Homo-oligomer: A and B are copies of this chain.
Amino acid sequence: MSLLVTGSIGIDTVRTPYGLSEDCLGGSAVYFSMAASFFGPVRFVGVIGSDCPFELARVFVGRGVDLAGLEVRRQSRTFRWAGTYSENMDDRTTDSVELNVLAEEPPKVPEVFADSRYVFLANTAPALQHQLLEQIREPRFVAADTMNCWIQGHTDDLKALLKKINCLIINEDEVRMLADEYNLILAGRKIQAMGAPIVVIKKGESGSLLCGADGKQFILPAYPATEVKDPTGAGDSFAGGFMGYLAQQERTDFETLKTAVAYGTVVASFTIADFSLQGLSAINKSDIDGRFEDLRKLTNF
């Protein structure tokens, strides 16, 4: 297996009812890699500025995350995001964003990563996702994330991307916007008709919906977490667990996709239990497997 992720590295400031986490490590590629690393090696592609206070090699030490694709730009500043979650954690407002290095050219995919088979294109401009994907010679399974600003402002690029990927992983509000359809089952089908053979819809604390080939569906509730301190990174952790499992299995049939959705759900439930990467740093694979079995018991009948 060879799993590559392209995405952001961020300096996050997060306020939740449980506290304030200032200038902590975040970003889609970081959460994804941490989550996927429980299942096997990860190839990391991302870019930071000279101001980044985190040593990623130390963050990922012993986790099999290959940082050959980490680019440090001396003249640039690292992406920063600050946000506040509402009392019930069901809503968040962005307090400030500094795109900084993310507004520049995307990082290059190193030649040693060009043979990657499993690829996750974290949320960014669809044109950049195209550009990154073109550098992979023969990907076997490509998943991408997106968000409202690309759906509204870069629709054509995004629709072209849908024809080149195997799987779109997307929030419920965003899939409704992209499909112009409120019913999630119908919205998923419309995205499939646009070109993405598989659609995974993330519904936050309501769980997720997998739309596969031949109208096959799978619905899974979220893990019933009683401890939620910081939802930041839940979506990227979900994607990390999902793609990590697929790459580990080297299979993408529907049964494997279902199990991958369950692993994504479980990994995300550890992320949200604490700030930044602390939730994922505190566990090992057997914690994940234990909660996976719990989730099976909680949902099967």
Contacts and interface: CB of A to CB of B under 8 A. Distances in A.
A207 B221 contact: yes
A218 B301 contact: yes
B203 A298 contact: no
Interface in A205-229: 206-207, 209, 217-221, 224-226, 228
Contact of A301 (B88, B203, B206, B300): B300
Given A206-B203, A206-B206, A209-B224, A219 B185 contact: no
Interface string A86-115: 011000000000000000000000000000
A298 B183 contact: no
Contacts of A206: 203, 206-207, 221
Contact of A183 (B217, B226, B261, B296): B226
Contacts of A219: 221, 224, 298-299
Nearest to A292: B301
A182 interface: yes
Given A203-B206, A207-B221, A220-B221, A301 B258 contact: yes
Chain A contact residues, majority secondary structure: mixed
A299 B261 CA distance: 11
A259 interface: yes
A67 interface: no
Contacts of A182: 87-88
A262 to B, nearest CB: 5
Interface string A184-213: 111000000000000000010011010000
Nearest to A221: B219
Contacts of A220: 221, 299, 301
17 contacts: A184-B224, A185-B224, A186-B226, A206-B221, A218-B298, A218-B299, A219-B224, A219-B299, A220-B221, A220-B299, A220-B301, A255-B301, A299-B299, A299-B300, A299-B301, A300-B300, A300-B301
Given A206-B207, A206-B221, A217-B298, 17 more contacts: A183-B226, A183-B228, A184-B224, A185-B224, A185-B225, A185-B226, A203-B206, A218-B298, A218-B301, A219-B221, A219-B298, A219-B299, A220-B221, A258-B301, A261-B301, A299-B299, A300-B301
